[in-house]
A and B are shown apart, each in its own frame.
Chain A
Amino acid sequence: MIVCVLIPRFALLAALGDRRALLSEPVALAPEAGREQFVGEVSAPAEAFGIVAGMRVGEALSRCPELRLEPPDPEGVRGLWHEVLDRVEGIGAAPESERAGAAFFDADGLQGLHGGDLDGVLAATRRTLGRGSRLGAAACRFAAHCAARESRPRRPPVVVAEADTARFLAPLPAGLLRTRPELAALPDVLERLGIRTLGEMAALPSRAVAERFGHPGLLALDLSRGRDTPLAPRRPPEPVSERIDLPEATSGQQLERALELLIARVLARRERRGRSLRALAVSARFVAGGTWRCAVTLRHASADPRRIGLALGPKLAELPAPAESLGLEVEAFGPPATDQGRLLDDGGAERRVRLGEAVRQARQAAGPGAAMRVLDVDPDSRLPERRSVLAPFPTDPLG
């Protein structure tokens, strides 16, 4: 059986932090800075005004002039959701989660750990996540998701037996197919064709669906008949991240310096264990509230700070507002960075390799603070302590 953990309005909850009392008022997540002007998740009172996530800001405000727009916090959402997934993993589960607020795991292997049946697994999940989460269980991911939507936070979880899956899904609205991103546009078309429930969808002949809708149609047909693709649990994360405060650094050069410093710090982390970096995410917290995050996958995994800087540098230009802090997180590691020979003779490269080796030896002998370099962060600042920092001296000149 697949268990679904659903926490509605998770992004809004994360953005509100300890001001959750505001959920009793019309509140919506403002558009992310620099993105299209659509509202994000909305509170129940806002829904009562007919406001839904994805609605244009202008339309939302015309429906409810008192609507409070809360700056989104993608960094906070990510951190909070990782905590939730860590808790789910804490009961022995291997969760899959494509978006914050919904996670799935297979309960079959866990029953022995929690009393021998599904109820024990659900009770353990409820204990670890608290009463605010909705739980549902069914034979496949989609049906479990529908079950969790039907459940209520303080009521027992909705469990759908495998034999009852088709019967459970049949009366539910076809709009639930939107929960799969690849089917987001399909329910509107189905509605125009008069297909309003999953049962009506499931009754269509496969051949006709394939001809009319192609692969998305066949996926929708499978889901409405209670079949889904296998779960792909997340890989255990290896969080390596660094953050730097930017009291005044709002201009391009200062941001580039801060990024350079962050790259040096990340490359100096022990957890890297000599591996190259495959994917990174640059994030920022804005002075005016809210956060921004941009993931970058390197074409070639590298541990060369110059090359990483070239890949990440242009992203700084996309920052839509003055930032008070800049962060860098490793999302995926590549293979170990190896010292390959150069095709052309390069005396400078050899000297850098020797220098790197000397730095490593100095650190080995005298500790990690033995080899540092002065990095000008904001050389023109009127406050002397903001002009320069001592940063780790890079030891991997070749990447």
Chain B
Amino acid sequence: MSAADTKRLGAPRPIRVRAGARGFPAAVGGVAVEAVREDWVVEDRWWTGRPVRRRYFELVLADGRDVTVFCELSRKRWFAQRA
């Protein structure tokens, strides 16, 4: 067994998000967003050369799922994550 067998839990997964007004997600993976339950910003590792700036959204989708996604503010890319 090698280091490759050790796996991080909760790693972000790229996901397709259509952003609507004020940058809020309007659809995730082709499914419309029913409600935005909460949104928050995480800024971390600002003291390093690779700072982390994310805007998280906890969403309820039209099919009933509750998902958490975030937008990487530096590159405007979207990820889903078990937060």
Contact residues of A with B, CB < 8 Å? 242-244, 247-248, 261, 265, 268-270, 287, 368-369, 372, 374, 382-392
A384 and B45 within 8 A (CB): no
Most buried by A among B5, B11, B83: B5
A324 — nearest CB in chain B belongs to which residue?
B48
Residue in B1, B6, B12 whose beta carbon sits within 8 Å of that of A389 in the complex: B6
Question: Nearest Cβ in chain A — how far from B62, in angstroms?
Answer: 25
Partner of A383, one of B1, B3, B5, B52: B52
Given contacts A368-B1, A382-B44, A261 and B6 within 8 Å (CB-CB):
yes
Cα distance A269–B11 in the bound complex, in angstroms: 25
- State whether A385 and B6 are in contact (beta carbons under 8 Å apart), knowing that A268-B1, A269-B1, A270-B1 are contacts in the complex: no
Q: In this complex, what residue of A is CB-closest to B81?
A: A384
Query: Which of the residues B3, B7, B10 comes within 8 Å of A242, measured between beta carbons?
Result: B3
- With a CB–CB cut-off of 8 A, which chain A residues contact B7? 372, 389-390
User: Are A389 and B8 in contact (CB-based, < 8 A)?
Assistant: yes
Considering the chains assembled together, what is the distance between the CA atoms of A390 and B9 in angstroms? 7
Chain A residue numbers with a CB within 8 Å of B1 are: 265, 268-270, 368, 392
Indicate if the CB atoms of A247 and B11 lie closer than 8 Å. no
Pair count A-B, CB < 8 A = 57
Contacts of A247 in B (CB 8 A): 45, 48
Is A385 touching B2 in the complex (CB atoms < 8 A)? no
Expressed in whole angstroms, the Cα–Cα distance for A382 and B3 within the complex equals: 24
Specify which chain A residues have a CB less than 8 angstroms from the CB of B21 in the assembled complex.
none
Is A392's CB under 8 angstroms from B6's CB? yes
**CB nearest to A381 among chain B residues:** B44
A-side contacts of B5, CB under 8 Å = 268, 368-369, 372, 392
Chain B residues with CB under 8 Å of A287's CB are: 48
A384 close to B83 (CB less than 8 A): yes
Whether A385 touches B3, Cβ cut-off 8 Å, given contacts A247-B45, A248-B45, is no
The residue in chain B whose Cβ has the minimal distance to the Cβ of A391 is: B6
User: Contact: A390 with B2, CB < 8 Å?
Assistant: no
